[in-house]
Amino acid sequence: MLTTGLFVVAVLLTWPVPRLLPRLTALERVPGPGLLLWQAISLSAIFASVCLAPLAILQVVREGRQIPAPAANIPLLLVGLVISGLILARLLLQGHRIGRNLRAARREHSELVDLLGDPPAAASYDSITVLAHPTPTAYCIPGKRRRVVLTDSTIHALPAEELAGVLAHERAHLRLRHDLVLEFFTVLHTAVPRAIRSDRGMQEVRLLIELLADRAACRSVGPVAVARALVQLSGGAHPDATLGVSGAPAVRRMELLADDRTHRLLSTVVLLTALLVVLGTGVIAWGALLGVG
């Protein structure tokens, strides 16, 4: 029965897969495809969960493959729609809460940076602000008034090439809108009940995002300069609503910087797996709707 199969898919993609997938460290060698796979799994889990209740009720009331008229089964139809609506409502509510809190935190921090730091050039789209602080730190603030923030000790501690790599890293976060990617996963992560939530999966997503920015920096200044910058900034911290160079384990990132292979076969396999997850979930749901199996 395809409805049972859809239930199995929803359970697998919600609970065991986010716990097991971080063990596949090979995904860290292809962070772009790896992140797409995580997105495919997350979206497929949502889709399966939302479709499950209406399709299960349809399976109960239908005779053969004929789809019954909704007017003849209004009470059961409402039950299915309410269950699906609750799932979507929780996602939308979490999205609103997290988005509101992130934007408020960024706005407040931007005002603080404007007050304490060197004033940025008004015409600059992603200006640089320097703060006086003894710890080398670098991070970016996404949003309408996006900027890169450095401490003065970062400028003093890093040679020009390493500093250029740090700026390339932060500007990659801003250009590729990694804040939206992270916000998407944060919404899904917090919408899942804590008992089945996978913190390890969220950590892996953060690592993949940092690896993408690391690769952008490597294309600008090379892996050696980026690795040295990571060492210098490993003790720094940044506000939760921002993205920073020190946002994931530096040791693992430096190991991956040393691997300059393209891994085309691995990338292809991961992308095909992501496509298979999305299409497979859709085919199962469509088959259940049509009464196949």
Please say whether the beta carbons of 293 and 2 come within 8 A. Answer: yes
pLDDT reported for residue 211: 96
Chain segment 98-132, per-residue pLDDT in tens: 999 999 999 999 999 989 887 544 444 458 899 99
Give bridge partners of residue 151 from the DSSP assignment.
131
Question: Residue 132 contacts by C-beta under 8 Å, 6 or more apart in sequence?
Answer: 116, 151, 152
Q: What is the C-alpha separation between 8 and 257, in angstroms, rounded? A: 38
Scanning the structure block, which residue is given the tokens 């994931």?
A: 248
Residue 30 burial (10 A CB sphere; 0-12, 13-18, 19+): buried
pLDDT reported for residue 125: 44
In the chain, where are the structural domains located?
120-260
Chain segment 187-216, per-residue pLDDT in tens: 999 999 888 889 999 999 999 999 999 999
Chain segment 134-186, per-residue pLDDT in tens: 999 999 999 888 889 999 999 999 999 999 999 999 999 999 999 999 999 99
pTM value > 0.85? yes
Chain segment 242-279, per-residue pLDDT in tens: 999 887 788 899 999 989 888 999 999 999 999 999 99
